[in-house]
Amino acid sequence: MSNLVRIIISSLFLAGTVALFWFGHWGWGILGILVTILAWVTVFFNENMLIAQWYFRKQNIANAEKWLNKIKDYEKQLISAQRGYYHLLLGLIESQRAPMQSEKFFKKALTLGLHMDHNVALAKLSLAGVMMAKRNKREAEKLLQEAKKADKNKLLADQIKMMKEQMTMMDKQQFRYSR
């Protein structure tokens, strides 16, 4: 459903709610306010994205992917602020199956823009993991530093530390094999 249709439906709900209050139906008017708020939320946040994020938080990757696949043309169905998050979720799902294939999704998410710093940190940390798997140490270190800088609330501090330790272990192994 396009955003124009959502705006029209939301406006009709708002008009109906005002009419309910006008005619003294306070109980139904309060319910109308809740329905109107829900309708307006879907104008700014695609319901498929909201449901996919909910399933993703519940670690139900299959259902999250099912709801993301319902978004056929993300450029038309999502507002610009959601497009980066769409690709971030696709990248996280793809990283479960084929980590090397997830690189394009994380890069696209960063290009389109993520508004929350911890999501930028997550995308860069995931990209650093892909670069590390490709044996591109310099790029992985750069991305890890950027992820650490973006992680202002230290939500990913343990994962960043663990990845740095893995890089150190890789260096030691590589040093042993080169002798």
- List, for residues 138-167, the tens digit of each pLDDT value: 899 999 999 999 999 888 889 999 998 888
Q: To the nearest whole percent, how much of the chain has pLDDT over 90?
A: 59
pLDDT of residue 137: 86
| Amino acid in the structure at residue 21 | F
Using an 8 Å Cβ cutoff, are 56 and 92 in contact? yes
pLDDT of residue 119: 92
User: Which residues have CB under 8 Å from 140's CB, separation 6+?
Assistant: 128, 129, 131, 132, 163, 167
Q: How many CB atoms lie within 10 A of CB 110?
A: 20
Q: Calculate the CA dihedral of residues 83, 89, 90, 91 and round it to 10 degrees.
A: 110
Positions of the chain with pLDDT lower than 70, given as ranges: 1, 174-179
* Two tokens, residue 135: 């044996």
Q: How many CB atoms lie within 10 A of CB 6?
A: 18
3-class state of residue 45 by DSSP: coil
pLDDT of residue 175: 57
pTM (2 d.p.): 0.79
pLDDT of residue 58: 94
Q: To the nearest whole percent, how much of the chain has pLDDT over 70?
A: 96
